[in-house]
Amino acid sequence: MNVSNGGLAAQLLEKLYICDLSRYSGTYVLSENGETVRNTGSVMWFAAPDARGLYYSDQRNFDYLTYLSAKTMDETCVLERACANIIMRDDTVLFLDEEDGCVCEFDPAKGKSSYMIKEKVFSFILAADKVYYASENGLKCFDLHSRRTGKLEDCFPVCLNFSDGYLVFSDKYRDFTLCRFDVSQNELVVFDDIRAQSIITTEKYIFASNLADGNSIIRTDITTGESIRFCGESADKLHIIGKHLYFLNQFENNAWYRVPLSGGRPVPVLLVANCPATKR
């Protein structure tokens, strides 16, 4: 889930939106062939697409909830509230309030927000009818139908992902060791050899930048636990878009690179020094 790594890259209507973290020069819009269409000028975090545009937190405007129209490229602040961890739920927007740490829900049609989880939350993900989140008291689950909360495990999850019935995360209490939690069996598996800085999952695999190996990318079978070294670059902020894994290459001043999910050689996606800094 890209939101767990900052939601810094997103695809919408055959264009790639990708935020520059090497110079914080803005968010670039790339065409299918990789050419830069424009620089929006905003520093876009936690991008969450709907059918017509993107919701995001704009670092250049107090982290307020903002909407960008893919058709007109107009950017509109829709809620003057510092937010993070933005996730679409049908026609509403879930987000983390940066001031009090609570999970809130914003209804664009009404222009109003309301509280969903009124306790301090560090990160959360949405899977079917449940919100899984990291709290001061461990890993918890909030049921959207019963509105009840239950504790799942004593840990401090970072980079929460959900795939094939498993929660995948690194545990801050275990020195960021990679973990897999089976939500149906309430069973935790710890991968002792992998200390994950960034994590992203597919239905079959866990991709993680391994702190124990210079932040190289390791691929782990989510069921068997078998692992291989997938990419030797020093990587952070892993994202999956289409059939490619995107990451910040720390060897190249945090330039964006991508590599096929099937494996191969990583290639640059966004080298900001070569991009025109044109804004709207």
DSSP letters spanning 74-98? -EEEEEEEEEEEEEEETTEEEEEET
pLDDT value at position 38? 87
| Banded model confidence at residue 106, pLDDT cuts 50, 70, 90 | very high
**Which of 29-33, 99-103, 130-134 shows the lowest mean pLDDT across its residues?**
29-33
Across 204-229, average pLDDT: 97
| Banded model confidence at residue 280, pLDDT cuts 50, 70, 90 | very low
pLDDT value at position 252? 87
Question: Are the CB atoms for 37 and 31 separated by under 8 Å?
Answer: yes
Q: What share of the chain is helix, strand, coil (3-state, %, to 5)?
A: 5, 60, 35
- What is the chain's alpha carbon radius of gyration, rounded to the nearest angstrom? 18
Partners of residue 118 on adjacent β-strands: none
pTM of the model: 0.94
pLDDT value at position 22? 87
- DSSP-derived letter for residue 41 is S
